[in-house]
Amino acid sequence: MSAGMSMHASGTEEYQAVFTGATLERLQEILTRYPNRQAALLPALWLVQEARGWISDRNMAEVAELLGLTPAYVKGVVTFYTMYHQHPVGKNFVQVCTTSPCNICGAEDVAMAFLEHTGAKELGATSPDGNWTVIEVECLGACGFATPVMINDDFIESVTPDKVPELVRKYR
């Protein structure tokens, strides 16, 4: 079974496989880079997250079947890496670096400003309109440009609390 087409969710809704068409082709190209199928696991999980926004247990089972692994093994890997979402997040996912080098430059105020202006209220929670999830993240590796913030795949440097309202308007 190559694309998991015969898989069904446990409920009544039919599971829509991620790895079909162009996504499956991309995975097949990725598989040529490694001497075994397991090594394509991290790239495959990225493809799932790109397509669905997060990685469900059912997605993990599909990946497991494609790569010859068990669902439990795949889950073990997913849970190790913080960038893989095991639950849906807001349309805009905001990560504010608050590790020491940014912390001493006021990073916690930046995180608070995002909570205030997005309505997300609490770190890790999603705003009632479903548009925003804000988290504190450990070192983003841009300490000289405090405070770096990632909004989805965009990497934004030198964010201060006064720049937050404009950023929120831009992504809203």
Partner 1 sequence: MGFPHTPHPRETLVLSKHFGDTDARTYKGWVKRGGYEMLNQALAMEPAAIIEEVKASGLRGRGGAGFPTGLKWSFMPREKKKPHYLCVNADESEPGTFKDREIMRWTPHGLLEGTAIAAHAIQADVTYIYIRGEFTEAWDIMERALAEANAAGVFGKIKIYLHRGAGAYICGEETAMMNSIEGKRGNPRIKPPFPAAAGLFGMPTTINNVETLAAVPLILENGAAWYKGLCLSNPKSTGTKLLSVCGHVQKPGNYEVTMGFPLKDLLYDLCGGMRPGRTLKAVIPGGSSVPILNREEAESTLLDYEGCVEKGTMLGSGGVIVFDDSADLVYQIMRLARFYAHESCAQCTQCREGTAWTTKILERILAGQGKMADLDLLLDLADNMTGKTICVLSDSCAAPVVSGIKKFRNEFEAYITGNRKPVIAA
Residues that bind partner 1 (CB under 8 A): 33, 35-36, 38-43, 45-46, 67, 69, 76-77, 80-84, 95, 98-101, 103-105, 137-146, 150, 153-155, 157-158
Task: Identify which of residues 119 and 145 has a Cβ nearer to partner 1 in the complex.
Answer: 145
Quote the least distance from Cβ 106 to partner 1, whole Å. Answer: 11
Buried b (16+ CB within 10 A) or exposed e, 96-106: bbbbeebeebb
Quote the least distance from Cβ 128 to partner 1, whole Å. Answer: 25
The two structure tokens encoding residue 110: 């930046």
Quote the least distance from Cβ 112 to partner 1, whole Å. Answer: 14
Quote the least distance from Cβ 137 to partner 1, whole Å. Answer: 8
Task: Identify which of residues 51 and 83 has a Cβ nearer to partner 1 in the complex.
Answer: 83
Quote the least distance from Cβ 103 to partner 1, whole Å. Answer: 5
- Quote the CA–CA distance of 43 and 33 in Å, as a whole number: 11
Sheet containing 154-156: give its strands across: 132-137, 92-97, 149-151, 154-156
Is there a contact between 138 and 101 (Cβ–Cβ < 8 Å)? no
Is there a contact between 134 and 111 (Cβ–Cβ < 8 Å)? yes
Q: CB burial class (10 A; 0-12, 13-18, 19+) of residue 156?
A: middle
Task: Identify which of residues 41 and 120 has a Cβ nearer to partner 1 in the complex.
Answer: 41
Three-class SS state of 155? strand
Task: Identify which of residues 119 and 160 has a Cβ nearer to partner 1 in the complex.
Answer: 160
Is there a contact between 122 and 115 (Cβ–Cβ < 8 Å)? yes
